[in-house]
Structure 1
């Protein structure tokens, strides 16, 4: 991902080897990373068992928050494409037991939002 893409909020697919290294303490036995997408510093990962959202915090990025969402708990998700005046695309995911959605913004030129939506649909709609 180029610097400009990152600043614009465009998602880019992450390298599986890099993801395995970064998530080695989070992944359990029998769990396989299938794909991952990065937006600025944050990223989300699809495994064969769950969706993992990684929130990079702080100036140095050494503090990370990991959200693990089993696919069976995802109740609803939506994708909103960018418009003429609204420059961001958005992905929203509703989780069982949580009132509001988890929202991730993508840049206007991000075509990967639909790749992310397809990966989510492939897991949730099984």
Structure 2
């Protein structure tokens, strides 16, 4: 997957070594990036300790919200696949003590299954 897929909202797997280098100041001692997925400008990072979701905001993407979720705090999650007329897929993650889920939209079912597989690996 390349730039075009990223612009279209398709998730693509990011190189864990590069992501770990970029996020060095955010990681704790002994924490390692095991997998990461880029979704347009956003990033979902699976470490050996937690899920970190980066939400780049604004025109330049310089403003970034880092949402950290310990795996033990994820109560459940769901995947909604694309249909005939609705081409978007959606991943929702419920975190304990929050009413509304964290939601990410994908444009390609194949990619959402890769992210769901990674999430299942750490939560189950």
TM-score, length basis structure 2: 0.95
CA RMSD in angstroms, aligned pairs only: 1.0
The equivalent residue for 2:98 is: 98
Unaligned runs of 5+ in 1: none
Quote the offset at 1:89 in angstroms.
0.6
Structure 2: gaps of 5 or more residues: none
Q: Report how many aligned residue pairs link the two structures.
A: 124
Counterpart in the other structure of 1:124: 123
- For residues 101 and 50 of structure 1, the distance between their equivalents in structure 2, rounded to whole angstroms, comes to 17
1:21 positional shift: 2.0
8 Å contact from structure 1 (residues 11, 110) kept in 2: no
Where in structure 1 do 4 or more consecutive aligned residues deviate above 3 Å? Answer: none
The equivalent of 2:18 in structure 1 is 18
- Structure 2 Cα separation of the partners of residues 106 and 56 of structure 1: 16
- Residues 65-106 of structure 1, C-alpha deviations (whole Å, 9 max, x = no match): 101100000001011110001110110000000001100000
Q: Is 1:12–1:37's contact at 8 Å kept on the other side of the alignment?
A: yes
Cα distance in structure 2, aligned partners of 1:122 and 1:17: 19
Q: Partner of 1:114 in structure 2?
A: 113
The whole-number CA distance in structure 1 between the counterparts of 2:2 and 2:48 is 28
| 8 Å CA contact retained: 2:37, 2:45 | yes
